[in-house]
Amino acid sequence: MSAKFTARWPKSIYRTATEAVLLVTSAVMVVPFMWMLTVSLKGRREVFNGQNFVPRLKASLSALGTHPSLAVAILAAVVLTAYSAVPTKEGRHKRLARAVSAALWITSLVLAFSSGTLSGLDFSAYSAVWARVPFARMLVNSSAVAVSVTALQLVTSCLAGYAFSRLDFPGRDKLFWAYASLMLIPQQATLIPAFMLINRLGLVDTYAALVLPFAAAPFGAFMMRQFFMALPKELEEAAVLDGCTRFDVLVRIFVPLAKPGLATLALFSFMTSWNEFLWPLMVTTRREMFTLQVGLDMLKWEAGTDWPVIMAASVLVTLPVIIAFLFTQRRFARSVAMSGINT
């Protein structure tokens, strides 16, 4: 009994410390977003007067005292959301907590609007964003580019990772490390040659110019190679004996087992493509082809010092990335634990 306890004790300490670090890190990362959110809900005069961090919420906070059900719902939703966001093993309790927290957030919003608790907030900055720039078109452009780049990188990374980990051909390892070394080259060094190539092909101001240069990534091939090398060879040999081709082994066996790695790679690819600014700025000249990052820069010139409008646009630009992380965070910790440099 004591040996079993001592064997489990270091693992439990490691898990608790990891969860604590992740929670603290998440809290630190949330603070800038909350600052943008609160500034976007202020009026312009309120910002320049240097009033409270939270805009006109004294009345709202006092209203919570008269609506204890709303306060309890918000507190329970925050606790359950924090519990379900911790990247530990998925189970029935976490799925139940996620469902209950979603229901509590919806209930809290309904109670807040019906009780007038949110009457002190100013949402005019969000409507101003849609009026000053073609935000809907930019949102469509960014979504199409990010989703396309993510899908292409998943396909090319899986194919390259499988080839570098399972196929035997002369110079395989040397070719892999040469390809992986491309990660050391900064993007700024290849901007001009890439732009000249896109310009000669006549692809400026097209979706192809925004997507094709990022269709393959050395980091994705490196990451998937590490996952595939961690899988036992007996699975592949058994599948080949059953009549599976190389492509069947990849699609039916390796890809399902590498879902944590694919989720992490999809998150990184989506975030990188979504936040890309310099390349879309170079290859797009028409407002109809601008992405959100370019549109946000354009809005800063048009809005001037109207900080609530700028912060409202920043909140709208940041939300899809947060949503993408929430959908993939369950597999993120597992992918980190499974990854490693195998030679």
Helices (H), the chain: 2-40, 44-48, 58-66, 68-85, 92-115, 124-132, 135-166, 172-180, 187-200, 207-211, 218-230, 233-241, 246-249, 255-257, 259-274, 278-283, 292-303, 307-338
Measured CA to CA, the distance from residue 226 to residue 260 in angstroms comes to 12
pLDDT attached to residue 335: 54
C-alpha angle 186-187-189 in degrees, rounded to nearest 5: 75
219 pLDDT more than 60: yes
Examine the domain organization and report whether 143 and 250 are in the same domain.
Answer: yes
Domain that holds residue 257: 129-338
Domain membership flag for residue 343? no
Domain membership flag for residue 86? yes
Place of tokens 């892999």: 176
Mark which of 98, 122, 146 sits at the end of a domain.
122
Q: Please, are residues 209 and 283 in contact by the beta-carbon 8 Å criterion?
A: yes
Q: Residue 235: which of 256, 221, 259, 263 has the closest Cα?
A: 256
Mark which of 100, 122, 144 sits at the end of a domain.
122
Mark which of 122, 140, 156 sits at the end of a domain.
122
pLDDT attached to residue 22: 67
Q: Which residue has the higher pLDDT, 215 or 44?
A: 215
Examine the domain organization and report whether 204 and 294 are in the same domain.
Answer: yes
pLDDT in tens, 128-139: 888 888 888 999
pLDDT attached to residue 138: 92
Domain membership flag for residue 157? yes
pLDDT band at 117 (very low <50, low <70, confident <90, very high): low
Examine the domain organization and report whether 52 and 153 are in the same domain.
Answer: no
1 pLDDT more than 50: no
Average the pLDDT over 73-82 and give the result: 72
pTM > 0.95: no
Domain membership flag for residue 229? yes
Longest dimension (CA), the chain: 75
Examine the domain organization and report whether 108 and 32 are in the same domain.
Answer: yes
Q: Residue 249: which of 238, 259, 260 has the closest Cα?
A: 238
Average pLDDT over the chain, rounded to an integer: 78
Q: Please, are residues 331 and 259 in contact by the beta-carbon 8 Å criterion?
A: yes
Measured CA to CA, the distance from residue 303 to residue 326 in angstroms comes to 31
Examine the domain organization and report whether 216 and 319 are in the same domain.
Answer: yes
CATH number at residue 206: 1.10.3720.10
Q: Which residue has the higher pLDDT, 185 or 118?
A: 185
Domains of the chain: total = 2
Q: Which residue has the higher pLDDT, 7 or 294?
A: 294
Examine the domain organization and report whether 90 and 217 are in the same domain.
Answer: no
Examine the domain organization and report whether 113 and 139 are in the same domain.
Answer: no
Average the pLDDT over 211-219 and give the result: 92
Measured CA to CA, the distance from residue 143 to residue 263 in angstroms comes to 18
